[in-house]
Amino acid sequence: MQYKRILLKLSGEALMGDRTHGIDPVRISDYAKEIKEAVDKGIEIAIVIGGGNIYRGVAGVSNGIDRVQGDYMGMLATIINGLALQSAIESEGVQTRLLTAIKMEQVAEPYIKRKAVRHLEKGRVVIFSGGTGNPFFTTDTAAVLRAAEINADVILKGTRVDGIYTADPEKDKNATKYDTITYKEVMNNGLKIMDMTAFALSDDNNLSIVVFDMNTKGNLIKLLSGERIGTLVKN
């Protein structure tokens, strides 16, 4: 396998499937099966999941909700998604641990770096929820922060698009895909992969990011096996 320990970043919207909100049981089951297959190959997997399928703090501001309150509501949404993903993965016979950046002992373990690493070493899938535990930071930033803390080999950003393009491929038919791109090229070309805080943090910590289509069955294992899937961002 190409990587030993990965941080998989999933958006909350990805869990909606064809729905307009909430969680699609078929989509989350498909993800769980892909993750189990990777675990069976000996890959250590940590996951950060967003909450946009339930609530987005930034969107709440336009409706008169205080930004800090809205961000905490978004963090709670990621915990709901984390619980759902935990249940789906465990139904595949894989041990998991849900860790939260906000203390919620009846629901999950509080995030402690050493415990997270130990869980990974024991072959458990670790799901990080609650973002960073602080307002004004996205789950993209949380993903990079956790990846750096646990010394992940790579960040795999699962999206509905099969990589990074010169323009939005859903809007521009002439957009071309990058197989590999540097952090500098991304910034110079104004390409949006993550928010700039997350992007700068990954650059500073020399963390590579692979942007790929998680919704195509088999892509995760192909990527982990060394096939050219998605777009690799590196220094």
Which domain does 19 fall in, by range? 5-234
Structure confidence at residue 27 (pLDDT) = 95
**Consecutive H or E run containing 115:** helix 113-121
What's the average model confidence in pLDDT over 16-33? 93
Q: Which two tokens stand for residue 164?
A: 């990074």
Residue 38 and residue 221 in contact, taking contact as beta carbons nearer than 8 Å: yes
More confident residue, 63 or 143: 143
**Is the pTM of the predicted complex or chain greater than 0.85?**
yes
For residue 95, give every residue at least 6 positions away whose Cβ sits within 8 Å of its Cβ, in sequence order, or none: 122, 123, 124, 125
pLDDT tens-digit map of 81-130: 999 999 999 999 999 999 999 999 999 999 999 999 999 999 999 999 99
Can you point out the beta strands (E) in 67-219? 96-100, 109-110, 125-129, 154-159, 164-165, 177-178, 180-182, 209-213
In the chain, % of residues over pLDDT 70: 98
> Would the pLDDT of 206 be above 90?
yes
CATH of the domain at 114: 3.40.1160.10
CA separation, residue 138 to residues 50, 123, 159, 165, 228 (Å)? 8, 27, 16, 23, 28
The total number of structural domains that make up the chain: 1
pLDDT band for position 1 (cuts 50, 70, 90): low
Of 124, 121, 103, 123, the closest CA to residue 112 belongs to 103
